[in-house]
Structure 1
Amino acid sequence: MLRTIGMTAATLLLLASSTTVSLAAELKAKTAVLVHGAFADGTSWHKVIPLLENAGLHVVAVQNPTESLAGDVAFTKRAIKDAEGPVVLVGHSWGGVVITEAGTDDKVKSLVYVAAYAPDKGQSAIDITSKYPQPKGRDSFIKDEDGFLKISDEGIDKYFAAGLTPEEKRVIAVVQGGFHASAPATPVSHAAWHDKPSFMVVATEDNIIPPALQKDQVKNAKADSIEVPSGHVAMLTYPNEVAALIIKAAQ
């Protein structure tokens, strides 16, 4: 009996290894560079990372300071420089602005936007949201005397982290970092999605970035897209679907 169980486990391990090798052989990109959004850090990708690694991708989660667009782009470009190319560059929320600017790097072969902003050249995140009704979650932003924004605990619970467990929401509230208010007002000087294949996850129940904006961006970028009935943190509520689109972008 023990021998039978051992053989079965070995067989399953061999099958899993074969699947990983098969997927890796189909990938044109070698590394997924993941760029978090405002009020977050690289751990916001923790559910997606193992799925990408199991598919054969190397993964780098950037830790951006979220103090300025220039600073975040510089951090992201260093990650791209150190990564094995080609790279699929992924951004969530504010990270979409960052990858729009940083994605012009020659090592970047495709872009993935996850419930993210995708401004055009000369536009800022504020510019592209101005013609849409303000989402409810924006009322929960709190600015301190130094110009840094945070989200209230109620805002995290109801809007930013909608769809997660109470324990997950509490962790997000505790670890959130400040996001300087000048950053979303800064326009991008390049729009990489004009020149690189783009993929977009539209979160249809997002209360931070208008879903209508996300859908319009799909049209503007002629992006390959999926829609998930998710709030803002789609990579945490629908990690399998998000990972599948990233893998598709890497193929």
Structure 2
Amino acid sequence: MRTKTTIAALVSALTLATFVGVANAQERPAPALTAKTVVLVHGAFADGSSWNKVIPLLQKAGLNVVAVQNSLDSLDGDVAVTNRAIAAAQGPVVLVGHSWAGAVISDANVDEKVKSLVYVAAYAPDDGQSVFDSVKGYPEMPGQASFVKDADGYVKVSDAGVAKFFAPDLPRAEQKLVAATQGALNIKALSQPVPHAAWHKVPSFVVIAGKDQIISPQQQRDQAKRLHATTVEVPSSHVAMLAYPKAVADLIIKAAQ
């Protein structure tokens, strides 16, 4: 009888300890946000609407959000647009770039306002490197076969390419929106070097798109190691912020803490 009583008391104590532990974990507040504003920079073949699934999650976390609208004419031009957004933002700032915009945020004027960089399925050139330089040594990706260049040197993705390579994990209705809202990138921008990569000075975070057919996933992994970045990998196409918005938002929020 004494043994049964002892066992019952032990079970009760363990149950109570578990309940208290769960309750304390639920009551424990999330880490405070250090950053005030997130500046989102879209990539090639996109516009600011590409962040539409991520923006509400960031706002719910208490962050101000600004999505820039790049002209995609040149690296210098897109950097200038981004720098204006940083200057107007309430600091501190988390600077986020998707795809081509990885080069933009690497070249942006990182002042005291910018506390962290987040690369989402993005290029991260080093000092003196262009995007074209950064892809050397990696295989040509299948999605590049769907690029269409006009007479002025601006490149877009064909509608079929959006569905097959660029955003194959999105519903068909969303693929049509991506195709309709995409911007055209001047191909010359890809050969313009980043003079001084900001990731040498600012902590970096990386979302790797594991099923990307535009930028090599292995290149993304290698860049993350070089940046000593806090990293998350998702089984996503190139548009990780549309296919896995919560994972992307969670890493941005982590960068803001």
Fold shared per TM-score above 0.5: yes
Name 2:137's counterpart in structure 1: 131
Deviations 1:50-79 (A, max 9, x none): 000000000000011011000000000000
Name 1:115's counterpart in structure 2: 121
Paired residue total? 230
Name 1:227's counterpart in structure 2: 233
Compute the displacement of 1:104 (Å).
2.1
Q: Does 1:72 align with 2:78?
A: yes
C-alpha separation in 1, matches of 2:229 and 2:129: 19
Name 2:198's counterpart in structure 1: 192
C-alpha separation in 1, matches of 2:235 and 2:109: 27
Deviations 1:102-138 (A, max 9, x none): 1523210000000000000100111111210011000
Q: Does 1:63 align with 2:47?
A: no
C-alpha separation in 2, matches of 1:206 and 1:157: 13
Deviations 1:156-208 (A, max 9, x none): 00111121010000011112121100011111011111110100000010000
Query: What is the aligned counterpart of 2:212 among 193, 206, 210?
Result: 206
C-alpha separation in 2, matches of 1:163 and 1:41: 19
Query: What is the aligned counterpart of 2:100 among 89, 94, 102?
Result: 94
Q: Is contact 1:104–1:190 with CA below 8 Å preserved after alignment?
A: no
Specify every segment of 5 or more residues in structure 1 that has no aligned partner in the other structure, as ranges. Answer: 1-18
Root-mean-square deviation (CA, aligned residues, Å) is 1.2
Query: What is the aligned counterpart of 1:39 among 21, 45, 61?
Result: 45
Letter in 2 for 1:169: Q
Mark the structure with the bigger radius of gyration: 2
C-alpha separation in 2, matches of 1:105 and 1:139: 39
C-alpha separation in 1, matches of 2:153 and 2:39: 29
Name 2:90's counterpart in structure 1: 84
C-alpha separation in 2, matches of 1:38 and 1:106: 28
Deviations 1:78-101 (A, max 9, x none): 000000000000000001100001
Letter in 2 for 1:89: L
TM-score, normalised via structure 1 length = 0.90
- Identity of aligned pairs, percent? 60
C-alpha separation in 1, matches of 2:46 and 2:32: 32
Query: What is the aligned counterpart of 2:160 among 136, 154, 164?
Result: 154
TM-score, normalised via structure 2 length = 0.88
Deviations 1:13-62 (A, max 9, x none): xxxxxx9xx65x70000000000000111110000000000000000000
Q: Does 1:176 align with 2:182?
A: yes
C-alpha separation in 2, matches of 1:57 and 1:95: 21
Query: What is the aligned counterpart of 2:224 among 214, 218, 223?
Result: 218
C-alpha separation in 2, matches of 1:40 and 1:172: 7
Letter in 2 for 1:234: A
Query: What secondary structure does 2:102 align onto?
Result: helix
